[in-house]
Amino acid sequence: MRGVVFDGRRAEVADDLEIREPGPGEVLVAIAAAGLCHSDLSVIDGTIPFPAPVVLGHEGAGTVEAVGAGVTHVVPGDHVALSTLANCGACAACDQGRPTMCRSSIGRPDRPFSRGGRPLYQFAANSAFAERTVVRAVQAVRIPAGIPLTSAAVIGCGVLTGVGAVLNRAKVGIGDTVVVIGTGGIGLNVLQGARIAGALTVVAVDTNPAKEKTARLFGATHFLTSVDGVREILPDGARHVFECVGRTALVRQAIELLDRGGQAVLLGMPAPTAEATFLPASMFLDKAILGCRYGSSRPQHDIALYAALYEEGRLLLDELVTRTYPVEDFAAAVEDAEQGRVARGVLTF
C-alpha cells in the first residue's frame, strides 16, 4: 500500500508498505484524507525529534475496515476522524478527563508498519499518510457520514488544537478580548474558537497581508501585519493572547500584550532547546503563561461536538481546506505549506 515515509534524511511516497491486523482494542482504518500539518514538516526538518524510519501524518479521517476484540463503539463501515491521543483510559489523568496528560499517550511510538520486512514507526500514534493505519480504539471517533472526509480530516489536529485551546484551556468567555499571533491552520482555528466562545474583539496578527480575508472569515474583527498596532485597538492589552507560530521572540511579545489578569497561551512549536525571555516583573498583575497540548482536548467528546457545530454551520471545516492533493503529490503539498499558500493542504487516497 502507499504511504509517506521519512527515513531520517528525506520523505518519499512509498508503494510497498504493509500494515498488521488490528489487535485487541484496536481499529484498522482506511484513510480517505489527511491534512498536512506543520508538525509533520517539523519531523522532516528536525524540529521535532522522532525515530526513523517513520510513516508520517497525524490528521486524518476515513472508514473503519476492521476492529479488534473488545471494540464496540465503531464497526466496519463507520466514518471516523482520528485523534493522536492513544491514552490508556485508566490512569489518574484519564480518570480526571485529561487524556492529553496520560503518559501512555506521550511518546512510546509503536511499529505497526513494515517495508521489505523492516518495521517502521508510527508518528503520533496515528500515521495518517498511509492508505491504512491501525490505531487504538479510543483514537477513532465516529462522525456523521454526511461530513466530507476531506473536511473531517482536519478536525483531528488543527481544529482540536486551535478551538480546544480557546474553549478548554483558556476558557475564553463572552465579551473577552483576544489576540492571535499567526493565522496558519492553528491560528485560524483559534480565531473561530474565539468567535464561537463569544469574544468581542479578536485581533489577528500575521506578516502576510493576503491572509486578512480568511482571518476575518474565521472570526477576526481586526487584522494587523505586526503586533505594533495592537495597543491602538486594545490600549489596556488583551485578556487572551495566543502565540501560534513557535518563535521565541513572539512569546515575549505575546506576554507584553497582556492586560492585567491576562493569559498568554503558547501553541506554536519551537525547537526543543529554544529559550524565551521575558520580564518577570511584568507578570505580577495576575498574568499567566499557559502551555497547551493538543487543545487540552477530550477527543471522543470534542470531535463529536465539533462535528455537530459544523453541521449547524457554526464551525468552518470546508473553508480550512485550501487544496487537495493525491498522495503522490506530497512534495507539492509540502512546498505550498512551506510557502504559506494554503490554510490546510489535504492529501487524498
- pLDDT by residue for the chain (349 residues), tens digit each? 999 999 999 999 999 999 999 999 999 999 999 999 988 999 999 888 899 999 999 999 999 999 999 999 999 999 999 999 999 999 999 999 999 999 988 666 899 999 999 999 999 999 999 999 999 999 999 999 999 999 999 999 999 999 999 999 999 999 999 999 999 999 999 999 999 999 999 999 999 999 999 999 999 999 999 999 999 999 999 999 999 999 999 999 999 999 999 999 999 988 888 999 999 998 999 999 999 999 999 999 999 999 999 999 999 999 999 999 999 999 999 999 988 888 899 999 9
Question: Could you give the CA distance from residue 255 to residue 283 in angstroms, rounded to a whole number?
Answer: 8
Residue 12 and residue 5 in contact, taking contact as beta carbons nearer than 8 Å: yes
Q: Residue 161's closest CA among 202, 201, 192?
A: 192
Q: How far is Cα 314 from Cα 256, in angstroms, rounded to an integer? A: 32
**CA 102 – CA 79 distance, rounded (Å):** 26
Cα→Cα distances 229→203, 206, 237, Å: 10, 12, 11
Query: What DSSP character marks residue 228?
Result: G
What pTM was estimated for this model as a whole? 0.94
What number of other Cβ atoms are within 10 A of residue 38's Cβ? Answer: 20
The HSE-up count of residue 204 (CA atoms within 13 Å, CB side) is: 32
Give 115's strand partners.
17, 118
Q: CB–CB of 28/19 below 8 Å?
A: yes
End-to-end CA distance of the chain: 10
